[in-house]
Each structure stands twice: as C-alpha cells, then as structure tokens.
Structure 1
Amino acid sequence: MMAPAPLAASIEVSPKQAIESPDLPGLFPPATRVYVTDLGSDGEETLVRAVRRLADLGYVAVPHLAARRAGARAAVEARIGALAERGGAREMLVIGGGPDRPAGDFATALDILETGFLDRFGYTDVAVAGHPETSSGFPADAAMRALRAKADFAARTDARMRIVTQFGFDGPAFVAWAQGLAAEGVDLPVHLGVAGPAKLTTLLKYAMACGVGNSLGFLRKRALSFGALATQQSPEDVVAPVERHVQTHPDGPIRQIHVFAFGGLTGAAHWLRERGSW
C-alpha cells in the first residue's frame, strides 16, 4: 500500500502574534486558515486588527467567538459586524467558552448561531468545537448533545459548518470518535486538533490548562522519563494513524488537521511544510 497522503492543515495564533509577529508574512501558504484565539483579554479593536492583518497577508482569518464571554446581544452583533466589515473575516469559530456562567446574553454557541448575525454580515463558513476527550465539567453525553444540536442547525439552515476539535495525543481514539459521529446523527466534516512540535513540559502545561484528561495522563507517563521533559515531542505519532485511517476511509468525516502551535509558529510551520501538509 502506498504511503498515505499528508492531511492539509490550519493553524492557530494569538491576537498579539497576528498583529506583531514579523515572521507571519509568507510563513504559511496563501489562503491557509489561521484561527485567532479569544481568551477574553483582548478588546474588539485588537481582534479586528489581528484579523485584518492576517487577511492582508493573504490568509483566511478565522476569529474565535466564545458565547459565555461574549456579553450583551448588541455587543455581540457589533463585534461580528466589525470583524467582517473592518477585519475582512468571512469565517468564524463559535464556541461555548470557558466560564460556567454567561457574562451576558449567551450561554451556548448555538445561541450565537441562532441570532442570524453571521448571515447578516456575510460570513460564509462557521466552525464549531468538538471534544473527543471530555472533562468533568463537560461530560461526553452533554458534549454530543450540543454537537448534535449544532448539526441540526446546519441541516435546517444550510449553514456551511465544520467541527474543529480540541487537541489530543491519542490518534486512534480521535479517529474512533470521528467515525462514531454519524451514528450520533452528526454529519459534519472534522478537522482534528493536534499540538505542534513542542517540549513535553510545554505540552503538559497546556493539557492541564485545557483539561484534556486522557491526554494529560498520556503525557504524565512520558514525563516519568526525566530526559523526556526537555525533549521536543513530534506530532507524527498522533497524525500518522489518522492519515492511515483516512487513506482507507476517504469518505469518512476527517478532512484535515488543525495545529495548536504551542512550541512556536515557525517550528509548527516548518514541520507542516517538511511533512507535506503545506
């Protein structure tokens, strides 16, 4: 059997990186989807500047919008409009977001979608979150119900929707999760989250912050080897089984990978070019 074709990839940056990084011009291939994080610490103007620079550099900027941090309805409408009209965004990742209690009028990503704001301001594509690994605050059955509701929304509105998952380190488990979506009534393309090349200590920090339990256990086992803590960890062990699966199941839901560049943008870009994803 021939070696599987490398999966295409998107990547994630912070607003600060999008605005200030001197490495960004030409770092990614033209029209690469570049997601812009929103952790609640950046105002609307900062996010607009970040998205605008990415668009001006020839990338497809995909800003995040976290429902429970989003605030009042009027503020959300204004932000979605500003990101489109002044930032040039035509795609958005809409997530529930971190806080347990809403800061404003929206408790879920679906609440945002049902406003119709994305249609009103000319967005063509929307991404929603997938959670192959669940946490104590978001059990598997609740996560799947939320995903099914968003898939139902896409079906009744003809929204062009995709799932972008949290990162993890168990490729076969991620494949099994994606393959099981159809049986749950979710028929959407999947972009699997992958941590880019980074030291094990860095990956442990982000896994703890994001609450990806199974992956945290996997990383802790690796950390038992003292020498591994300072070693650069390659994502190939995660991506290779996914690509082998896609080779034999080309009609399945997995379309590409989404890279969290915890070890730096240039290192992630080099890895993606070297392996042929870019």
Structure 2
Amino acid sequence: MALLNFRKKQETFGSSAQVEAFLDGYSIEVMPRTAEKVEDFRALLPAGTRVYIAHIDGTPIEDMVATAARLAADGYNVMPHFPARIIKDKTMLADWIARYQGEANVRQALLLAGGVSQPHGDFHSSMQLMETGLFDKAGFTRLHVAGHPEGNRDIDTDGTDRNVMDALRWKQKFNETTGAEMALATQFAFEAKPIIAWANALKDAGITIPIHIGIAGPAKLQTLIKFAIACGVGPSLKVLQKRAMDVTKLLLPYEPTDIINELAAYKAAHPDFNIERVHFFPLGGIKTNAQWAIDHGGATAAPADQS
C-alpha cells in the first residue's frame, strides 16, 4: 500500500527533473517602476528570458520604451503590453510600434484589451489591434494574446464562456494566417486540475495555440489575495482563502511549488499537453520570484552572469 501511495504521489507531483524541464524558458513580467528598483537583471534572470512589460493606464510611453531598451541591451527578449483600450487610434498604435522598434528593436508584443472599462478611443479588443495588420507589416515575430483558465468577467458578463470561446476561435484563425508565432499568455490561478481541464478543453475545441500558463510568484498571502481579487481570479481563489483560515500558515509566504509540481508531472506524462511555458507574475517582487526559479529550475534558470 505504501508503494502504491508513493507511485500515486509521483504521478501527481513532478520530480525535480520534471519541474526543471517545465520551468525551462519561463517568462516574467515587470513594470517600469518595478524595473527601476532592479540594479542588474543579469544577476537574476537567465540570458534570453522573455520579459513582458506591463503597460498600466497612465504610464507614459517614454517610460515603457526606456524600460524595453534597457532590457534589450541586457540581452532579454522584450515583450511589451499593447492594451487596446488605452490606444486611441491606428496612428497612436503605429507610433508605439515605431518607437519600440526604433529604440529597443522590439519584435514581440502581448495584445490585450486592457484593464480600463471605457476605451480611450477606437479600440476595445486585441482582435481589433491584430486586424490593423500593423504588427505583421512591422515584422513582429511573436504575438501573444490573453487566456483565461477561469473565465473573464469583462467579456462573459452572462456567466458563460461563450464570448471567450468565440474570441479564441477568431484568434485561432488569425494564427493560421499571421507570420508571427502566437501563444496564449494566461491569467494566474492556484489549482492545477482546472487549468489542465481548461487546456484540454481548448484542444478538443480545435484551439491549438500554445499556452504560456500564468503563475503567481512567491508573495505574502495578504498581497496575493489582494491581487487575485483585483485581477478577477476565479474559483481557485478558495485555495488562498482556505490557507488564510489556517493560523499556522497565515504568516507564511505563498510559493507556487504545489501547482508547478502538479503541472510538471502532468506535462511529463502527456508530452502533447498544450502548455508550452510558464509565465510568472512576480507579485512578491522580481528578486524573490527570480530566486525561487533559480532554486527550482536547475541550470537553465541560472542568472545570465553565472551561466
């Protein structure tokens, strides 16, 4: 019986080699104001790491481009956000693309609706940004779009996932015509089983765009709950709420060890599983998240100045 239980645990929780393989090529997200606090990214992140730059409403494009230029100069693959609802028109979009390319040689972008409720201009969805053709014209090699394992309350206001699936089918068709590689960069969640079910359901529905799964990095529990509620995390929020009720764990920082282990084990057992990469949201700080990845990711997670 003990041997049977051990084997079941192995099937559920990945070995260190499986975790290292799963974390290989992970990406991470920064903002200009958080990037300013990092003296040297090369002491934290592997060479060539994809670094997303989140564009929060009100952040000057000059700050975004400067951050992109710094990261590119350090040898990282830079992927700035293009939030549709804060881009006024096609002229502004073309200007942003030109700035990023001219000053930071950017060739990758995450296209999303954005966190504001009312559009500032002509665009309200990532699909409209893609329809301009400006990214293909500029020779972008990668275009990532948002994925929502637990639904998206901004799109599916009727409580179903119908609108989300319609948008994903549209993006699947675009994926078949664009010259850029595409991926779904997802919102973070805290349970592996619903993520696995969601990813498999997409595949069954003919959505074959690779998934870069969003994972919340190590953080204080209170911080994580605050961000999870603000970002619209769904049913898996109960994992944090249950932890918060346990006084023995309340003051301990959350780490994504369990969810990473489970996803890594599933990926190892199902090589055709559509989750391709891990994307970290460093809610407890970039340095803390990078160190966790170094501790769990093996040689491929070694910082650039040590590899």
TM-score norm. by structure 1 comes to 0.95
- Measured in 1, the distance between the counterparts of 2:205 and 2:180 equals 19
Match of 1:108 in 2: 125
1:164, distance to aligned residue in structure 2 (A): 0.6
Q: Deviations over 1:141-170 (max 9, x none)?
A: 212211221111111234310111000101
Match of 1:222 in 2: 243
Paired residue type of 2:229: M
Report the 3-state secondary structure (helix = DSSP H, G, I; strand = E; otherwise coil) of the residue aligned with 1:134.
coil
Aligned residues: 278
Match of 1:237 in 2: 258
Report the 3-state secondary structure (helix = DSSP H, G, I; strand = E; otherwise coil) of the residue aligned with 1:270.
helix
1:215, distance to aligned residue in structure 2 (A): 2.8
- Matched ranges for 1:154-233 at <5 A: 154-233=175-254
- Measured in 2, the distance between the counterparts of 1:273 and 1:70 equals 37
CA contact (8 A) 1:19 1:49 kept: no
Classify 1:173/1:103 alpha carbon distance in 2 versus 1 (closer, same or farther; 3 Å): same
Report the 3-state secondary structure (helix = DSSP H, G, I; strand = E; otherwise coil) of the residue aligned with 1:228.
coil
- Measured in 2, the distance between the counterparts of 1:245 and 1:187 equals 18
| Aligned Cα root-mean-square deviation (Å) | 1.6
Aligned partner (choices 31, 34, 51) of residue 34 of structure 1: 51
Q: Deviations over 1:201-230 (max 9, x none)?
A: 111010011011213232112111234332
CA contact (8 A) 1:163 1:191 kept: yes
1:80, distance to aligned residue in structure 2 (A): 1.5
The structure whose Rg is larger is: 2
1:275, distance to aligned residue in structure 2 (A): 0.8
- Measured in 2, the distance between the counterparts of 1:163 and 1:243 equals 18
Q: Which moved more, 1:48-57 or 1:64-73?
A: 64-73
1:138, distance to aligned residue in structure 2 (A): 2.8
Paired residue type of 1:94: L
1:135, distance to aligned residue in structure 2 (A): 4.2
Match of 2:141 in 1: 124
Q: Deviations over 1:17-51 (max 9, x none)?
A: 33452142331011000100011121111110010
CA contact (8 A) 1:200 1:228 kept: no
2:38 is equivalent to residue 21 of structure 1: yes
Report the 3-state secondary structure (helix = DSSP H, G, I; strand = E; otherwise coil) of the residue aligned with 2:104.
coil
CA contact (8 A) 2:141 2:179 kept: no
Paired residue type of 1:157: T
Q: Deviations over 1:169-208 (max 9, x none)?
A: 0111111111111222211111100011111111101001
CA contact (8 A) 2:189 2:234 kept: no
Report the 3-state secondary structure (helix = DSSP H, G, I; strand = E; otherwise coil) of the residue aligned with 2:118.
coil
- Measured in 1, the distance between the counterparts of 2:40 and 2:287 equals 7
Match of 1:83 in 2: 100
Gaps of 5+ in 2: 1-9, 302-307
- Measured in 2, the distance between the counterparts of 1:174 and 1:215 equals 10
1:54, distance to aligned residue in structure 2 (A): 0.4
- Measured in 2, the distance between the counterparts of 1:159 and 1:256 equals 17
2:73 is equivalent to residue 56 of structure 1: yes
CA contact (8 A) 1:19 1:53 kept: no
Q: Deviations over 1:238-275 (max 9, x none)?
A: 11111011101112211111001011111111111111
Structure 1 stretches of 4+ moved >4 Å: none
- Measured in 2, the distance between the counterparts of 1:257 and 1:244 equals 14
1:101, distance to aligned residue in structure 2 (A): 2.9
Q: Which has the higher contact order (CA 8 A, sep 6+)?
A: 2
- Measured in 2, the distance between the counterparts of 1:90 and 1:159 equals 9
- Measured in 2, the distance between the counterparts of 1:229 and 1:143 equals 35
Classify 1:87/1:232 alpha carbon distance in 2 versus 1 (closer, same or farther; 3 Å): same
Aligned partner (choices 2, 8, 29) of residue 12 of structure 1: 29
Report the 3-state secondary structure (helix = DSSP H, G, I; strand = E; otherwise coil) of the residue aligned with 2:236.
helix
